[in-house]
Structure 1
Amino acid sequence: MVPPFPFRFRNAEILTLYWRTDPEALTFLLPPPLQPTGDVACVHIYRMTDTDWLGPYHEANVMVGARLGDREGAYSPYLALSSDVGVAHGREVHGQPKKLASPSLEFRDDLVVGRIERNGIDVLTGTLPYKQQAVTPDALKPFFDFATNLNLKAVDHIDGRPAIRQITSRRLSEVTVHEAWAGPCTVELRPNAQLPVFRLPVMEPLQGFLWRADFTLVPGEIIHDYLTEAA
């Protein structure tokens, strides 16, 4: 259930949508000592077409810009995917709060539609015009560097005592972007107590991207250990 690093993602199709959110809501979701780098959130909805170990599946990653000292990246408060292996790996290795759900990425005539469905509720629905403006790969990260992912890893001993309390970091490797397209986007959120993305309300939809890429998931590092710092 927990494959070793590295493993390769090939020809992934990704819908990335940015929106301006409530700065206080964003800050509330960040575990100290992480600090926000702005008031923008994003979601990546992936159609993983060919992945080592996991096979084809769909995933969604909600992110906000964050920093720890001079290290900047993106913190993931919510992740949802259709792969049980992906859920196990994300939770046990990265500490990501992944949950089993049904993200989807569809092309409906001239519209790209991304959804995150859980418990029969479309927790998030996003749209983007289909391939209207070609852009270069460096345009994909206008607000924060999402390739560096920051996570809170919290694991307890069997008796309930804290075993692991860490901020972890990993960066995607060997990234090849085959194509990228930009346009105006929409983002709609619906409440769900088990996947509360609505806690990052949409104040203003910003920009969206549709892109296709290969990348490799590699080992990361521990950048803050709460138990060591508290000793």
Structure 2
Amino acid sequence: MQQHDIAQHLATPLMNPAYPPVIPRFTDREYLNIVYRTDRDALRAVVPEPLEIDEPLVRFEVMRMGDVTGYGPYTEAGQAIPVRYDGERGEYLHAMYLDNFPATASGREAGAYPKVAGSPALYVDHGALVGVLDYGTVRVATATMGYKHHELDPDEAAAQITVPTFMLKLVPGFDGTTQVAQLVRTEISDVVVKGAWSGPARLQLFEHVLAPLADLPVREIVSVSHVLTDLTLAPVRPVHDYLAR
């Protein structure tokens, strides 16, 4: 392969890249969202400046991807933190665990999503919508919600999932120093809400040294939603450079 051909490739391995060169379209993406109140000091310890915190809230999410362009179906769980940046309200993605390696690799490399391997699931059990997350063989989160107890306004549901998203893009150099350190922004577009519901919910987080969701403890459930939607993720763009002089 000639030198000028190499730069045309997206990812390694060179002849069998870990993920495809696509902008993914999500069809039948199903959310279980539980917004809860946590400890303010715990949030301050993990939210990077210049992001700002108003209320000490966290959104725990489990998402079942019914079909994704280039990746197929998979499931994902994690925590997002409501924040403000330069006067704009959004969410900081704190942690994401999923069961699909191409989606994990592309999220980290092509974007800045804090994705690691995990075993999440979203299913209905005896009248409850259940979201769970295992790390290895250990349960680290269990969420339950009354299944479709109350219909939720589609516009309200769309507003919940389309707030701007902020993440950290960190890339080390071969000498161990940081080559890239950026705060980046993305958002969801082309949303079609196919159904949305609310109801009673509970959330348990269990301590694990490598999956520290419980470091943001549950103090009070604030709001709950179950949303079925189609959507597209926009590419990320940098908004703040931590290495700029």
Q: TM-score range by the shorter chain?
A: over 0.9
Q: Give how far 1:3 is off.
A: 3.2
Offset of residue 96 of structure 1: 2.1
Name 1:76's counterpart in structure 2.
93
Mark the runs of 5 or more structure 1 residues left unpaired by the alignment.
none
Query: What TM-score do you get using the length of structure 2 for normalisation?
Result: 0.88
Match among 219, 226, 230 for residue 242 of structure 2:
226
- Deviation at residue 137 of structure 1 after TM alignment: 2.5
Worse-superposed segment, 88-97 or 121-130 = 88-97
Distance in 2 between residues matched to 1:37 and 1:145, nearest whole Å:
19
Equivalent pairs: percent with the same residue?
Answer: 31
Could you tell me which residue of structure 2 aligns to residue 9 of structure 1?
A: 26
Aligned match of 1:110 in 127, 142, 152?
Answer: 127
Q: Matched residue of 1:91: which SS?
A: helix
- Native 8 Å contact 2:65 2:73 kept in 1: yes
Give deviations 1:123-162, integer Å, cap 9, x for gaps.
11101001110011333388x7763110011111111121
- Equivalent in 186, 189, 201 of residue 170 of structure 1: 186
8 Å Cα contact 1:82-1:100 kept in structure 2: yes
Taking the TM superposition and a 5 Å limit, the aligned residue runs for 1:48-87 are 48-87=65-104
The equivalences for 1:1-231 within 5 A come to: 1-140=18-157, 147-228=163-244, 231=245
1:8 partner amino acid: R
Q: How many residues get paired? A: 228
1:16-54 C-alpha deviation (Å, 9 max, x unpaired):
111111111112110111111311111121111110111
Q: Greater relative contact order: 1 or 2 (C-alpha under 8 angstroms, separation 6 or more)? A: 1
Which SS does the other structure have where 1:50 is aligned? strand
Q: Following the alignment from structure 2 to structure 1, what is the Cα–Cα distance between the partners of residues 20 and 42?
A: 35
Structure 2 stretches lacking a partner, 5+ long? 1-17
Change (3 A) 1:145 1:212: closer
Write the distance in 2 (CA, Å) between the matches of 1:165 and 1:8.
28
Distance in structure 2 (CA, Å) of the matches to 1:25 and 1:64:
12
**Which letter maps to 1:168?**
V
What is the CA-CA distance between 1:5 and the residue it aligns to? 4.5
- TM-score between the two structures when normalised by the length of structure 1: 0.94
Q: SS at 1:63's partner residue?
A: strand
Shifted more, 86-95 versus 160-169: the winner is: 86-95
* Counterpart secondary structure, 1:25: helix
Between structure 1 and structure 2, the one with the greater Rg is: 2
Q: Deviations over 1:43-99 (max 9, x none)?
A: 121111110111011011310111121222100111000010111112112222211
Offset from partner CA, 1:158-188 (integer Å, 9 cap, x none)? 1112110000110011011110000121110
| Residue identity matched to 1:115 | V
